[in-house]
Amino acid sequence: AQKVTQAQTEISVVEKEDVTLDCVYETRDTTYYLFWYKQPPSGELVFLIRRNSFDEQNEISGRYSWNFQKSTSSFNFTITASQVVDSAVYFCALSETRRGQNFVFGPGTRLSVLP
């Protein structure tokens, strides 16, 4: 069965610190997709990144970077020089091709960036 684990329930950092959010997944599919979403206090989930199982290149977008390692089934998310506006709940999600378009979400990590 597919599963997504985010072991860090809550993280607090001081502004300008770097922070890494962990995501570990389980799947029996060889083709799958991984996602990160941000949920600010307003409640709407905001898409951050999608990665397919055949592309293990790390990605950087501004202060955000993602490290995908199939060998450890991990898809970690790092925020560099964190800002107060980064405070939110972050979700990692998995979609397997054989389950159609379903997305399985991890429990989320609440990040608090203190000024």
Partner 1 sequence: DGGITQSPKYLFRKEGQNVTLSCEQNLNHDAMYWYRQDPGQGLRLIYYSQIVNDFQKGDIAEGYSVSREKKESFPLTVTSAQKNPTAFYLCASSMAGQPTTEAFFGQGTRLTVV
Minimum gap (Å) between residue 35 Cβ and partner 1: 6
Does 43 interact with partner 1 (rule: CB under 8 A)? Answer: yes
Closer by beta carbon to partner 1, 12 or else 52: 52
Measured between alpha carbons, how far is 112 from 88 in angstroms, rounded to an integer?
7
**Cα 18 from chain centre:** 15
Does 21 interact with partner 1 (rule: CB under 8 A)? Answer: no
Where in 76-105 is the site for partner 1 (CB under 8 A)? 91, 95, 97, 100-105
Q: Please give the biggest Cα pair distance in the chain.
A: 44
Closer by beta carbon to partner 1, 4 or else 79: 4
**Torsion angle, CA of 99/35/1/69, rounded to 10 degrees?**
130
Question: E strands within 40-86?
Answer: 46-52, 59-61, 64-69, 74-79
Among 13, 33, 65, 78, binds partner 1 (CB under 8 A): 33
User: Which residues are at the interface with partner 1 (CB under 8 A)?
Assistant: 4, 9, 33, 35, 37, 42-47, 50, 52, 91, 95, 97, 100-108
